[in-house]
Chains A and B, each alone.
Chain A
């Protein structure tokens, strides 16, 4: 591997060049999922369940098929009935049967909006009319959405085949509790026995949506020889390919997926909803089929993250040493198992070095959309509970909240609650960055309060492929298989340029389709800059080795007599003092005579991702009459390892904070008594707007990860972990009352104020 870290000065990494795909995106030229168009294309639409829970007695599609202009109609009967099988392809393992039945309900509709049938027609109007002509007979069943209600033995059971995993004995009856997971160490009882102070709380969060502005969209085409093409907006073209093959029973070699630009994902586009249906409709009709969700469909039928109940009990000695922690997490999974309670459990106490710990997590199915990954899946929820309790503990002990966290904070060499031993982490440095920030000492105004909270995310590596091709003029192309959601093309080009010694403008990064680059896991888990960046760096390193060899050939010397400096081959052979350095362009011009095209591809399974810690500081102001909470100042520090493109790193932090503030204050899925989502639109599902937020000061702490060539750690997930508690702790500071139920919407705040008065 080319180790560039020791080089005295990086020329490209750490600068802020204009992103290579930028002009396409500011001119409207960039092609997102819904922007593709093929001749003869049909419009595909989905018939969805109006009931939260119902047995599908029958689906009669005859009238729809008979309508002029309708070219295909499918139901679950047109898809293979898959056996239960766990499969690793998204951000976490998925069960293929569940995935298939989430795309198209088979026997039961499990949430309002669950797909039952799909049509392809010559126009949207005809498709809509066809949907109205599909006759479905339902047997409406009792439903359950609240997570604790779903855990009751008397609750309506969603899946007769679901028996709780993780219990000592296999249970005798089916349950909505899909799984119980336990994590821990030490002796909890003894730990609490040592404690001078015990705080506890029960906290709740509501289901919230990733809220990407681009609805899911794809175009699919199946030709008469069975070759399938998909253009879609997703976090991973290989993920789409794999899932389509599995759900439709196709060979992977017969499917080619081209990634569109993706209009936000945040984890929500790590699975498929439309693509298999569009392929099935295209196969039946012989035409390309385009499917685009409405915003309402996005809310009703795609993954929010879990609503949850979090119970936390902490015990500490008078000096602030936390000696015991008991955490119970109950997460909604939606219609099928797979909530992020596992990650929620693992991250819950990851920032704390506590000897006696028990964390119990429940994965609970409910009659709501199957949850999908959402930025640091599971972690903001458990952090909301834990960080609220830590804040209460600091008050109980009379300690500064940062000092309490420093006292109990993890450092390199400490074994994390979830298993591994930390290496090269920058948690204490990040705490210090906030403690030293002018914001921490700034005075507060009337009705204002200040909150601190911390967050953790593992960051991951995984399988990636990258290719670097040197063009005839010495410029280069970098090819990867990872969709660019937030500027990753820029960081890929920068890392390649750094190694090659080229100006970044001479490196064009491309995100390739599944037939044009080797396998890559999807963009998610904060893995791309780390893992795919490592592949890019290694491929560029191979290029450097290759051009050094070619220079040696040209100079008639040995490769050990050639150095690569500032983008040039320099001859170290004392006998060749007359030769001038050779630029990449000069070597590329002679490529034909030195072995042919200059090109390298690296596939790897990157290990050694460095975890990220975030420390957030939030000031709020409360209108005690109306109950409005305004975030008036926000500072977010994070250990990012090394910022490849600092502007986009800051952007990740600022965006994560905004989403977290929305989660804390106003965002929630609201269901009526029949289990219908009442706010399936951006009018009443209230994501923060520009006037809701202040500037967000992103402080980059750089404790390099030595297992990445430039020291990068993942960045995208950690920033959404602390805000829920940071806001809640600030509200606690301002009101003097702990509020435990998100969102902290105006009616709830006003009720608390009224309670104080009476």
Chain B
């Protein structure tokens, strides 16, 4: 009978050692909301589960150099309660808080959402748009990589078997900036994104977009950063023409499949719709911030 072991190492080094010792059969446990479902369905049969939650700092948000460091096992509920983070990166927070139910929010983490490597992960397009990075640790030490470099395909990451994400890092928010994330699901809650769109943008004093990052979820094997979509609105006041161009760029970048959650044709159209709507929200937030209002 296959033995399953559970370890809750107290330090990063212990966790790295545990993963290395487990070889390919070790699985990292953050919030566990994906891992336990896969375990239960028999889709994975790990030999050892390495729980990160006892590592100091694994749960919690801290401000650092104007930006934010989010521990790997920090649940969505904690993220949503951090006023500074909510004020600076409302799009990332709303994306994180869209994952599953209130109950799931009590457990599910950004790092877990990222490393589960689902193309439909809600928080990933928002993090990509925000320019988030993650700190990867392993036997060879630590390296910081953009979040878009983590997933390489559905369920597959660029991390080695003995590496894990210790922290998610969000940069300081530039002046007059805003971000937003929207997804489309058949119901109002509890579904996996059929399409997701994250937008982060920065304005000048006149209200012209000076920088923009647009990312799409569930329209390709991994979440996509779409530079053409960002470029479509830079230099514009996000008027109707710019939104049309954004819509078209998002549709052009989408290369989805048809599955039980939506047809390819539908996903392409909705990618454009959501990119447009998310950009409008991000723009409003940036403008409000420019006026000194609350994001």
Q: Do chains A and B touch in the complex (CB under 8 A)?
A: yes
Q: Which residues of A contact B (CB under 8 A)?
A: 125-126, 129, 296, 625-628, 665-666, 670, 678-679, 682-684, 686, 688-689, 691-692, 745-747, 750-751, 754
A692–B260 CB distance below 8 A: no
Q: How far is it, in angstroms, between the C-alpha of A688 and the C-alpha of B269 when the chains are bound? A: 25
Q: How far is it, in angstroms, between the C-alpha of A688 and the C-alpha of B191 when the chains are bound? A: 11
Q: Which residues of B contact A684 (CB under 8 A)?
A: 191-192, 260-261
10 pairs from A and B in contact (CB 8 Å cutoff): A665-B186, A666-B186, A670-B260, A684-B192, A691-B189, A692-B187, A692-B189, A746-B184, A750-B266, A750-B270
Q: Which residues of B contact A129 (CB under 8 A)?
A: 1
B57 to chain A, nearest CB (A): 32
Is B262 an interface residue when CB atoms closer than 8 A count as contact? yes
A688–B187 CB distance below 8 A: yes
Is B103 an interface residue when CB atoms closer than 8 A count as contact? no
A686–B187 CB distance below 8 A: yes
Q: How far is it, in angstroms, between the C-alpha of A491 and the C-alpha of B269 when the chains are bound? A: 53
Q: Given A626-B273, A692-B188 in contact, is the A746-B260 Cβ separation under 8 Å? A: no
Q: How far is it, in angstroms, between the C-alpha of A126 and the C-alpha of B194 when the chains are bound? A: 38
A747–B263 CB distance below 8 A: yes
Q: Which residues of A contact B191 (CB under 8 A)?
A: 683-684, 686
A689–B260 CB distance below 8 A: no
Is B190 an interface residue when CB atoms closer than 8 A count as contact? yes
B43 to chain A, nearest CB (A): 12
Beta-carbon nearest neighbor of A129 in chain B: B1
B186–A689 CB distance below 8 A: no
A689–B266 CB distance below 8 A: no
Give residues 14-36 of B contacting A (CB, 8 Å).
Answer: none
A691–B188 CB distance below 8 A: yes
Q: How far is it, in angstroms, between the C-alpha of A628 and the C-alpha of B263 when the chains are bound? A: 15
Beta-carbon nearest neighbor of A626 in chain B: B184
Beta-carbon nearest neighbor of B191 in chain A: A686
List the 5 closest A-B pairs by CB distance, nearest first. A747-B266, A691-B188, A625-B273, A678-B260, A670-B260
Beta-carbon nearest neighbor of A683 in chain B: B192
Q: How far is it, in angstroms, between the C-alpha of A750 and the C-alpha of B260 when the chains are bound? A: 16
Q: Which residues of A contact B270 (CB under 8 A)?
A: 625-626, 750
Q: Which residues of B contact A665 (CB under 8 A)?
A: 186
0 or 1 for each of B154-172: is its CB under 8 Å from A? (1 = yes): 0000000000000000000
B187–A666 CB distance below 8 A: yes
Q: How far is it, in angstroms, between the C-alpha of A126 and the C-alpha of B1 when the chains are bound? A: 8
B186–A746 CB distance below 8 A: yes
Q: Which residues of B contact A625 (CB under 8 A)?
A: 270, 273
Q: Given A686-B187, A692-B187 in contact, is the A125-B1 Cβ separation under 8 Å? A: yes
Interface bin, chain B: 20 to 34
Q: Which residues of A contact B192 (CB under 8 A)?
A: 683-684
Q: Which residues of A contact B265 (CB under 8 A)?
A: 747, 751
Q: How far is it, in angstroms, between the C-alpha of A265 and the C-alpha of B269 when the chains are bound? A: 40
Q: How far is it, in angstroms, between the C-alpha of A503 and the C-alpha of B101 when the chains are bound? A: 43
A679–B260 CB distance below 8 A: yes
B108 to chain A, nearest CB (A): 14
Beta-carbon nearest neighbor of A629 in chain B: B186
B187–A689 CB distance below 8 A: yes
0 or 1 for each of B222-261: is its CB under 8 Å from A? (1 = yes): 0000000000000000000000000000000000000111
Q: How far is it, in angstroms, between the C-alpha of A747 and the C-alpha of B261 when the chains are bound? A: 9
B186–A751 CB distance below 8 A: no
Q: Which residues of A contact B266 (CB under 8 A)?
A: 627, 746-747, 750-751
Q: How far is it, in angstroms, between the C-alpha of A126 and the C-alpha of B2 when the chains are bound? A: 11
B47 to chain A, nearest CB (A): 15
Q: How far is it, in angstroms, between the C-alpha of A665 and the C-alpha of B185 when the chains are bound? A: 12
Among B190, B263, B269, point to the contact of A689 (Cβ < 8 A): B190
Beta-carbon nearest neighbor of B1 in chain A: A129
Beta-carbon nearest neighbor of B264 in chain A: A747
Q: How far is it, in angstroms, between the C-alpha of A754 and the C-alpha of B265 when the chains are bound? A: 11
Known: A628-B184, A750-B266. 4 other contacts (CB 8 A): A126-B1, A665-B186, A666-B186, A686-B191
A69 to chain B, nearest CB (A): 9
Among A125, A126, A296, A747, point to the contact of B262 (Cβ < 8 A): A747
A264 to chain B, nearest CB (A): 18
Q: Which residues of A contact B261 (CB under 8 A)?
A: 684
A442 to chain B, nearest CB (A): 23
Beta-carbon nearest neighbor of A296 in chain B: B41
Beta-carbon nearest neighbor of B277 in chain A: A625
B193 to chain A, nearest CB (A): 12
Give residues 174-208 of B contacting A (CB, 8 Å).
Answer: 184, 186-192, 194
A661 to chain B, nearest CB (A): 11
Q: Which residues of A contact B259 (CB under 8 A)?
A: 678
Q: How far is it, in angstroms, between the C-alpha of A125 and the C-alpha of B269 when the chains are bound? A: 46
Q: Which residues of A contact B41 (CB under 8 A)?
A: 296
Q: How far is it, in angstroms, between the C-alpha of A627 and the C-alpha of B195 when the chains are bound? A: 13
B12 to chain A, nearest CB (A): 32
Q: Which residues of B contact A126 (CB under 8 A)?
A: 1
Q: How far is it, in angstroms, between the C-alpha of A682 and the C-alpha of B100 when the chains are bound? A: 12
Q: How far is it, in angstroms, between the C-alpha of A390 and the C-alpha of B277 when the chains are bound? A: 39
Residue of B41, B184, B186, B191 with highest tally of chain A CB at under 10 A: B186
Residue of B188, B192, B262 with highest tally of chain A CB at under 10 A: B188
Q: Which residues of B contact A691 (CB under 8 A)?
A: 187-189
Q: Given A626-B270, A626-B273 in contact, is the A689-B262 Cβ separation under 8 Å? A: no
Q: How far is it, in angstroms, between the C-alpha of A703 and the C-alpha of B261 when the chains are bound? A: 45
B135 to chain A, nearest CB (A): 31
Q: Which residues of A contact B269 (CB under 8 A)?
A: 750, 754
